[in-house]
Structure 1
Amino acid sequence: MIKDSVLNKKIIPVWLPIPSFQPYCYILPDEMKTSPGSLVRVPLGSRELIGLVSDDVVPVFSSSIKLRVVSKVFNFPPINQELLEFVRFVSSYTLAPLGLVARMVLKISISFEEDMNEEGLLYSGLIPEHITSARSRVIELLMRTPRVWPRSQLLREAGVSSRVLERLKAQGVLKSINLAYQSVISAATASVDKPVLLEKAQRQAANLLQAAVLEKRFSVSLLDGVTGSGKTEVYFEAIAETLQKDLQVLILVPEISLTPQLLDRFASRFGHAPSEWHSDVPRLQRNRIWSQVAQGGIRVVAGARSALFLPFQKLGLIIVDEEHDSAYKQEDKIFYNARDMAVARGSIANIPVILASATPSLESYVNVKRGRYRYIHLSSRFSNAAMPHLKAIDLRVNRPSSGHFLSPILLRAMRDVLEGGKQSLLFLNRRGYAPLTLCRFCGHRFSCPNCSTWLVEHRSSSSLQCHHCNYHKIIPEICPECGLSEHLVACGPGIERIAEEVKEEFSHARILVLSTDTVRSVKQIRFKLESIKQGHVDIVIGTQLIAKGHHFPDITLVGVIDADIGLSNGDMRAAERTFQLLSQVTGRAGRTHSESIALIQTYQPDHPVMQALIANDRTAFLTREIEEREANQFPPFGRFAALIVSSRMRSKAESYARILRSAAPEAPGITVLGPAEAPLALIRGRYRFRLLIQGSPHIHIQSFIRCLLKKASAPCGLVHLQVDIDPQSFL
């Protein structure tokens, strides 16, 4: 790689997608031109990376210093100043290295420019002169999924040679399309003027959101509507207003399972689906989406939290659907909450942000009370559909039969629904068959060798699995401790076990099990959700994958198998999350005019969460939660940050955690708790210790942590340190 003297050379700062807090400096050849936001290819060690030219101040170098030279400036519009500022903000707020934040923007491969020029192929509808098995595979694939296919992807999935495609092109069966110009939604195709039937309350809410768009400035609106109230259709009107102004829109969803329904409803309203952005999108498609977003060709993106870092050229509106969902918090490498960062990006870009939920987070609710957010409420369901009647089943009284988990009351209700030709949904937020397998003779429990957790039994794959590190083993026939075989038992239920019990009780029912174990792609999710809507399923059994955002018109019974699961983890948000989750899942019932019921099995019917849920009294629940949080100075009435130390050697993790504690400066309004071994003390072979920093609401907790880290020695290579500002998990 070329190095050159800096004498009389132009030097540019470049953010590289590596864990660095500072930009790297490179010499820019005279024939190349850049500006802040330009994409460049630069050498680093023995490899080349795509970097982002920043507007950082370049240090003064001695004339004897030699720097490496920029390899290439991409012929591509520069990333705008707003996104550069957003990258800096995220790094400053989360205390994550600037380079790692920049890497979330640079979600493209080194070959992205070449990918832009790849040929796309579209089926013309013609039949070839001569049908061969290879040609048949191509046509069947294109008819099954009618869209423009990248040439390389079509070759791979159809399993044919380039010659086959060339012959089909020559006969007019395939049309050649330039992928660089394939927009998912454009001004020409978006039907923003399509008449929409909204009820009075929806129209009033839509008018308020459209007014926020017309204000052309930063604002946050909390769209709070009961399940089935039509929140999506309401915020679609704000999208239509934004598109009319030739601006771009970002819709964030917490999980990819929610994207199929959103895409379908969006296409129904606007005549075209938005572009998807999530982990299931192939690399070539990601490169094209990234490129077209940056050039303004794609107008609307619906995606997971990482879509927040796409290089929008003319972003005009951000929507965070299901804003309360904990899945918006990333807890890997960079710890950030996409909901909060969406508000920050809206502020930097001076555009409106809409937060939508049937169960808003306490933080958003308090921000409304403080006057920071506009509040828009939809108190009733669309078309006056009735909310389900909620009833708690006290498992201390109405016990399931031995070895079973469905109470007689729930079984009777399921039988009535089945005989009436309607559908039931059973909810249990626990994957697999059983959370624990043990030996009744010697007490041996099967646990993960890499994590301080039990192995979950999955009978569908005849395996014991760790849900933290993916370790798995075949279910043994004998106990490894005592050598006996007849005493191994599965303890507790997972959804596989519930499905087994349901099949025993209702042998002729059509049963569908939905979890991340049974659906592994958006395509599979779409297919199974559609089968429910079409009435091809009698009983749905699912985890939280099925709990929110979905519309199933024929589900008239929801049964919650174990409502107490989330209440016992000691988390300050345990009650709030349980209330939200149960409100969401029971809201899947009665979405049309059919009478519906939700039965909640619990050993704690007198718990405040259950009482508020059954009484449909969210205000009482929130009031109680606010009083408790405020009394303890818990968020949003105080600040939390966590320092998580890990190492493959327990002694080193504990030692460095103590070094951090001793380096903590005395500061008014701040308390440092710990270090203590984490509740999940071992994950993926690394021992973990935590420090919790608690501060009053107006403390700049990041400044305190910077001071602490500056005073402490840097961790050695065997020790990792993670900083989690505003932690959602305390495990």
Structure 2
Amino acid sequence: MKVKTQYIEVAPAVPLPGISSQTFTYEAPIDVIAGQIVQVPFGPRPVHAVVVAAKQPKPGYKTKAIMASEGTQVLSPTQLQFAAWIAATMHGSLGYTMRLFFPPAGTRTVPTMTRPSAQLKKTKIPKDILRIMSQLEGKPGIYIEGNQANRHATLARLASSYAQTGQQVLLLVPEISLVGILQKKLLEAVGMDEVAPYFAGQHLGIRREIWQAVAGGEPVIVIGTHKALFLPWQRLGLVVIEQAHYPTHKAWEQYPRLDNTYAAKALAQIAQSAFVTSAAFSSLAIKHQLNKEAPYTIANNPLTLHPTVTSMSFEDKKNRRLLPQETLLALKMDVKKGRRVFCLLNRRGTWQRFACKKCHRHLTCPDCGSPVTVVLAHKKKQPGFILMCQGCHKKITPPALCPACKKGTLAPSRAGSQQVANMLQQFTKASGPARLDADSLAGLSRQEVRKKIQTHPFIIGTNAALTHLEGEELDKVYWFFPEDSLWYPDIRSSERCLILLSRLQALVPGSSVHLVTRQPQLLRDTIAAPLPDFYKKELRLRQTLWYPPFADIVRLTLSANKDTGARRLKQSLVKKGGMSVKVRGPYQSLSLKKKVPQTHILLAGELKKLVPLYRDLSLASVDLNPEKIL
């Protein structure tokens, strides 16, 4: 008996040029449906593909047959629409994007009926939560609460109420450390037997169970990182992006380099679910939304900042002290009294820089242009230094003469975290401050890092320490030389520093964050200024320059160093975009992986107006809200 067949359109899960055909026609059994994962012959080997359309008319050319179908694995309509949005926005291959939505390895079937696994306490939904749920039906919500316990308790009540109505909830966090904290609050406040934590490091079997529960439409509350965005949501009722002001919501390592603040909002619109932006502190984007009065404000009680500025005195500079004497004496007293102290110095290594003695220019990486730090000084019998780039982590051979002036010799300057830690150990006579930076954290599990934090009351580290200190309450916090993080001409560095200050403040609620600086006036003009003045100044500047939050920015990377072609492309984009789009560039940078020049063009405007401008262009990559512009 001849098997009935049909013609289907599939998107192969392989990287294809964004401007080439994304779907191909194959012959398949009649029971294959849209969204199903199949295996097809494509090029020299079989590949996985997703059926985007079934029961298509017979084409006018010869087609191949699919090789196999992956059981009953089917991507949901929400997943298919969300994948199409990502592929269009990030200029990626449709099928290659859909691979992000594939179920965990070993998942063979999709449940056909709901199996309640989470035993929710059936309680009457409070009136205040009902009012919030009613308001969220018509507009997005903003919830700013500086007290983490109060914020998480409210989010737990809100999520539980949606789950009681049979809907699914996504609580999206920027860092894995927040998953456990929020899960604990849900278990305590809501009394649930099971809340679903979902992230890349989670055990494969647990991820399979959660995937099956979501695909089956169970009213689960998923707490996860950006990987949770790709689950097969069936009844998604609420999306909450927690700590929305954290820059770690932006992924930059590899395609699709999603920014959770954009992706979560797009998912909520596709699923027609409620959307809440939650944070302890207001970023410029959140402040702009509050000023517009467009969203529904659940609460606006941001964390209060208490910065105090300590500068290097004349005597400190004269005696070439690494830190002010005032700060050293305060640290010595903190250690003596057994206080829990964290010192942030955002430069790892023995020394921060390698500088010319003649022209005083600092050595930079020949590949990416980032500052070079002295990671380790050799012994006296082996003079020299091991230099490492802060950006691409490449080891660099020390040059004999300054590459800039060709005359002066180079020497280390400005102490790094390792040097400062050694000095503090000698001065305070402590057992030794624990270092938490990329070097000391390499190879350690999260449990080992937690043990290190609990057993060492005195810690010095870089930004890498903050994700492990999340949820801790310390006695004192110092930030050494925050002016090093105010990178001009990066216009966004002031906001990044302010958000970093808010994260440090959360470690010592009610106490001061001690800023130790060589440039006190710079800090008083920026992060130590009154918050209303800071917001007003920064928002006015960004509005003038068409920067977020007044415009979305997209960086287009051309496939090669084509200055003439880039200028023609810019003229074309200016003509097509009109007055509603600002086009900047072209400008160049060096690719970290391929070590070849790249040409960029920056678009600024409303995202839905920008995507049609570059959707059909031949580009190497597209980055929405790029971490670095220059």
TM (norm. structure 1) is: 0.73
Q: 1:455–1:294: structure 2 CA closer, same or farther, 3 Å change rule?
A: farther
Distance in 2, Cα, partners of 1:581 & 1:698: 27
Tell me if structure 2 keeps the 8 A contact 1:439–1:479: no
**Which of 567, 579, 599 pairs up with 2:514?**
599
**Which of 271, 280, 289 pairs up with 1:349?**
271
Distance in 2, Cα, partners of 1:315 & 1:728: 30
Tell me if structure 2 keeps the 8 A contact 1:77–1:294: no
Q: What residue is the counterpart of 1:158 in the other structure?
A: none
Higher relative contact order (CA 8 A, sep 6+): 2
The letter for the 2-side match of 1:71 is M
Tell me if structure 1 keeps the 8 A contact 2:36–2:72: yes
Distance in 2, Cα, partners of 1:526 & 1:263: 17
The letter for the 2-side match of 1:393 is T
**Which of 309, 333, 338 pairs up with 2:230?**
309
Distance in 1, Cα, partners of 2:77 & 2:235: 12
Tell me if structure 2 keeps the 8 A contact 1:531–1:537: yes
Using the TM superposition, give the Cα deviation of residue 76 of structure 1 relative to its aligned residue in structure 2, in angstroms.
Answer: 3.2
**Which of 21, 27, 39 pairs up with 1:41?**
39
Q: What residue is the counterpart of 2:406 in the other structure?
A: none
Q: What residue is the counterpart of 1:551 in the other structure?
A: 471
The letter for the 1-side match of 2:49 is G
Using the TM superposition, give the Cα deviation of residue 496 of structure 1 relative to its aligned residue in structure 2, in angstroms.
Answer: 2.5
Which SS does the other structure have where 2:282 is aligned?
Answer: coil
Q: What residue is the counterpart of 2:370 in the other structure?
A: 453
Distance in 1, Cα, partners of 2:595 & 2:226: 28
Q: What residue is the counterpart of 1:72 in the other structure?
A: 68
1:496 and 2:418 correspond: yes
**Which of 276, 283, 295 pairs up with 2:216?**
295
Q: What residue is the counterpart of 1:24 in the other structure?
A: 24
**Which of 399, 419, 423 pairs up with 2:340?**
423
Distance in 1, Cα, partners of 2:558 & 2:150: 45
The letter for the 2-side match of 1:723 is V
Tell me if structure 2 keeps the 8 A contact 1:514–1:546: yes
Using the TM superposition, give the Cα deviation of residue 562 of structure 1 relative to its aligned residue in structure 2, in angstroms.
Answer: 1.4
Using the TM superposition, give the Cα deviation of residue 291 of structure 1 relative to its aligned residue in structure 2, in angstroms.
Answer: 4.2
Using the TM superposition, give the Cα deviation of residue 529 of structure 1 relative to its aligned residue in structure 2, in angstroms.
Answer: 3.4
Distance in 2, Cα, partners of 1:402 & 1:653: 53
Which SS does the other structure have where 1:459 is aligned?
Answer: strand
Tell me if structure 2 keeps the 8 A contact 1:257–1:545: no
Shifted more, 89-98 versus 270-279: the winner is: 270-279
Distance in 2, Cα, partners of 1:52 & 1:699: 26
**Which of 537, 544, 551 pairs up with 1:624?**
537
Distance in 2, Cα, partners of 1:590 & 1:665: 49
Using the TM superposition, give the Cα deviation of residue 345 of structure 1 relative to its aligned residue in structure 2, in angstroms.
Answer: 0.9
**Which of 136, 144, 157 pairs up with 1:237?**
157
**Which of 624, 633, 641 pairs up with 2:546?**
633
The letter for the 2-side match of 1:49 is V
Tell me if structure 2 keeps the 8 A contact 1:452–1:681: no
Pairing of 1:118-137 with structure 2 (within 5 A): none
Q: 1:233–1:34: structure 2 CA closer, same or farther, 3 Å change rule?
A: same
Q: What residue is the counterpart of 1:432 in the other structure?
A: 349
Distance in 1, Cα, partners of 2:175 & 2:32: 38
The letter for the 2-side match of 1:675 is P
Distance in 1, Cα, partners of 2:178 & 2:433: 21
**Which of 608, 617, 620 pairs up with 1:721?**
620
Using the TM superposition, give the Cα deviation of residue 188 of structure 1 relative to its aligned residue in structure 2, in angstroms.
Answer: 4.8
Shifted more, 658-667 versus 233-242: the winner is: 658-667
Q: What residue is the counterpart of 1:672 in the other structure?
A: 583
Which SS does the other structure have where 2:521 is aligned?
Answer: coil
How many residue pairs are counted as aligned between the two chains?
A: 606
Distance in 2, Cα, partners of 1:723 & 1:94: 5
Distance in 1, Cα, partners of 2:218 & 2:315: 59
Post-superposition Cα deviations, 1:503-554, rounded to whole Å, max 9, x if no partner, equal: 2222324522223433358x8334433554x5x222122222344782323x
Q: What residue is the counterpart of 2:460 in the other structure?
A: 541
The letter for the 1-side match of 2:498 is F
User: Structure 1 unaligned runs (5+)?
Assistant: 1-6, 117-179, 196-202, 382-386, 715-719
1:580 and 2:485 correspond: no
**Which of 602, 607, 627 pairs up with 1:692?**
602
Using the TM superposition, give the Cα deviation of residue 559 of structure 1 relative to its aligned residue in structure 2, in angstroms.
Answer: 0.5
Q: 1:448–1:628: structure 2 CA closer, same or farther, 3 Å change rule?
A: closer
Using the TM superposition, give the Cα deviation of residue 261 of structure 1 relative to its aligned residue in structure 2, in angstroms.
Answer: 3.2
User: Structure 2 unaligned runs (5+)?
Assistant: 379-384, 403-408
CA RMSD of aligned residues (A): 3.9
**Which of 301, 325, 345 pairs up with 1:379?**
301
TM (norm. structure 2) is: 0.83
Tell me if structure 2 keeps the 8 A contact 1:40–1:51: yes
Distance in 1, Cα, partners of 2:194 & 2:85: 32
1:407 and 2:335 correspond: no
Q: What residue is the counterpart of 1:90 in the other structure?
A: 86
Tell me if structure 2 keeps the 8 A contact 1:218–1:350: no
Distance in 2, Cα, partners of 1:344 & 1:541: 39
Which SS does the other structure have where 2:370 is aligned?
Answer: coil
Distance in 1, Cα, partners of 2:320 & 2:551: 45
Post-superposition Cα deviations, 1:666-709, rounded to whole Å, max 9, x if no partner, equal: 2421343221223x6766512122222344x59812223347x3
Tell me if structure 2 keeps the 8 A contact 1:278–1:304: yes
Q: 1:550–1:701: structure 2 CA closer, same or farther, 3 Å change rule?
A: same
Q: What residue is the counterpart of 1:262 in the other structure?
A: 182
Q: What residue is the counterpart of 2:405 in the other structure?
A: none
**Which of 331, 334, 338 pairs up with 2:260?**
338
Distance in 1, Cα, partners of 2:361 & 2:325: 33
**Which of 444, 466, 482 pairs up with 1:563?**
482
Using the TM superposition, give the Cα deviation of residue 392 of structure 1 relative to its aligned residue in structure 2, in angstroms.
Answer: 0.8
Distance in 2, Cα, partners of 1:520 & 1:264: 27
Q: What residue is the counterpart of 1:513 in the other structure?
A: 435
The letter for the 2-side match of 1:53 is V
**Which of 249, 252, 258 pairs up with 2:172?**
252
Q: 1:610–1:351: structure 2 CA closer, same or farther, 3 Å change rule?
A: farther
Q: 1:401–1:419: structure 2 CA closer, same or farther, 3 Å change rule?
A: farther
Tell me if structure 1 keeps the 8 A contact 2:6–2:28: yes
Distance in 1, Cα, partners of 2:448 & 2:168: 29
Distance in 1, Cα, partners of 2:264 & 2:626: 17
Q: What residue is the counterpart of 1:702 in the other structure?
A: 611
Distance in 1, Cα, partners of 2:389 & 2:598: 17
Which SS does the other structure have where 1:584 is aligned?
Answer: helix
Q: 1:304–1:722: structure 2 CA closer, same or farther, 3 Å change rule?
A: same
Distance in 1, Cα, partners of 2:226 & 2:596: 27
